[in-house]
A and B are shown apart, each in its own frame.
Chain A
Amino acid sequence: MERQNKFLLVLLIIIMLSFIVLGLITDGPGGALKGFIQIQVHSGRLISDFIPIGGIGGTLINASLAGAVGLFIIVILKVQLSGPTYAAIFTIMGFGFFGKTPLNILPILFGVYLSSKVAGKMFREYIIIALFGTALGPLVSFMVFEFGFTGVTAVAAGILAGTITGFLLPAIAVSMLHLHQGYNLYNMGLSCGFFALFAASLVRAAGHQFESTMVWYSGESPVVIWLVPVLSIGLIIIGLVSEKMKSIKEFINIQKIPGRLPSDFMDMASLGGALINSGLIGIAGSIYIFLVRGDFNGAMIAGLLTIMGFGAFGTHLKNSWSIVLGVVMSTLLFGWELSSPGPLLAALFGTTLAPLAGQFGILTGIIAGFIHLIMVMQTGAWQGGMNLYNNGFAGGLTAAIIVAVIQWYSSSKEDFS
């Protein structure tokens, strides 16, 4: 385990440094720094692609530093680097292109820390909740930059809102797990979405109306297009080199795991097998975007890095393709474009429901993907765009209804007669 820990630490640091170097090269140090600062003062609500806001360089630096905050906390708490924490760091970095900043995640992390103290637990017991709970980073930025406060009051409001949010998340997160029983991988998406419903309602009650936000990069930068494919190939090579034939065998074994939370593929199979799985998922996602003629941008990188992260914690090719098929069918049936933002994000993030397909089969996966798309096209507006894991929220609702039906059916036969 210690060897794996050090290996992953070095790997993640190299990825983060690479992002920073690439960012400085792309926009120059001055341009990248300026872009980074512009991102810090943006509310980041859905849908806010940071690339048009801060440039490619500033966005890469933002993503790297947001991930570094998470990694730093993991290291000082001496938490094992494995599937769940690998997924958390990749998700934070991904959303560093699409809503999270190193600043807007801090109050939430602090709030979860306080919650752990009140509950008499070590912070490391809540670290997964804290890291994924940063999905509500835009809530903090919204209070500071959009709600209407100014100066110190605005900053205090943001910190207070984020701290309260983080404080309540552990209670909500544990409850939400029972709703879908681990069949929705982005449980924090469901939890944050549930909380954001109340937060958004409070904001509306205070007289503020959420302005619809759509910032979407449609350029064709080679850096943006090739970032994830190159990273994916790198992970595959690293996986193969680290364990050779064993990594291929374990990659195949991973495909047999249903993926229900918590399925740490690095523990249940191997580090090398999980890295290959992660890389192949990144390649598959990139190919999908290319095939449907979607835009490669910050939002897509967020989706790709997230599913790659969960390639070590629940998602694999076998349990996710039917979900994507369901999303595609739903999109075409209801007349949406596969390349438009909502369906494109749903196709990637809808794999939060992969455990349903992994456990109950292809038909369940297709149905889950189908319902998921319908839900996710509505749920963003319910929460004012403050929950970045909107697909996790919609996925949680979808998983809950499917689990309820399956559970009812499987328990409806009389055993004693």
Chain B
Amino acid sequence: MKRKDIILHLISEISGYLLEENPMRLVISLHQEKDGLHLSVMDDNEHTDEEIAKMEKDLNRPKRPELSGYYGAMTGQDLLGSSRLNLLGWQVKHADVARTSGGIKIDLWLGGDKFDSERFNIPEK
């Protein structure tokens, strides 16, 4: 899939997920490098700790190439039914979900084999 298509699908899926709660503000930020990208999405809705934990779990699923290579095509195409973060989780290098003063911030890092996390500030655990 072309990079532009991947980005569009990621943005669509994660935005669709947050838009289900009808936020008043939704901010999307993209940082691209040659071998990867960092996508950050923020909203202004309250989310419970359980919800945040579930989001982080779904977005940090073990990689499943047998699923992402096929069903991943549905990412960002959820016209009917709930958005599914695990579709994203199989495809991203790392995801982080954090509470902000007014809502939450979701960070997604995506890249190929030469992806250098140093350039994208993936938080150290």
Contacts and interface: CB of A to CB of B under 8 A. Distances in A.
B8 to A, nearest CB: 14
Contacts of A178: 73-74, 77
B70 A124 contact: no
Contacts of A208: none
Interface string B46-65: 00000000000000011011
Interface in B55-114: 61-62, 64-71, 73-74, 77-81
Contacts, number: 64
A34 B70 CA distance: 39
B71 A261 contact: yes
B64 to A, nearest CB: 6
A124 B69 contact: yes
Interface residues of A, number: 32
Contacts of B69: 121-122, 124-126
Given A80-B64, A124-B65, A407 B79 contact: yes
A122 B64 CA distance: 12
A49 interface: no
Majority SS at the chain B contact face: loop
Contacts of B74: 177-178, 181-182, 261
Contacts of A177: 70-71, 73-74
Contacts of A173: 70
Interface string B26-42: 00000000000000000
Given A79-B65, A80-B62, A183-B80, 13 more contacts: A79-B66, A125-B70, A128-B67, A129-B70, A173-B70, A177-B73, A178-B74, A181-B77, A181-B80, A182-B74, A260-B81, A403-B80, A410-B80
Interface of B: 61-62, 64-71, 73-74, 77-81
Interface of A: 1, 79-80, 84-85, 121-122, 124-129, 170, 173-174, 177-178, 181-183, 258, 260-262, 264, 267, 359, 403, 406-407, 410
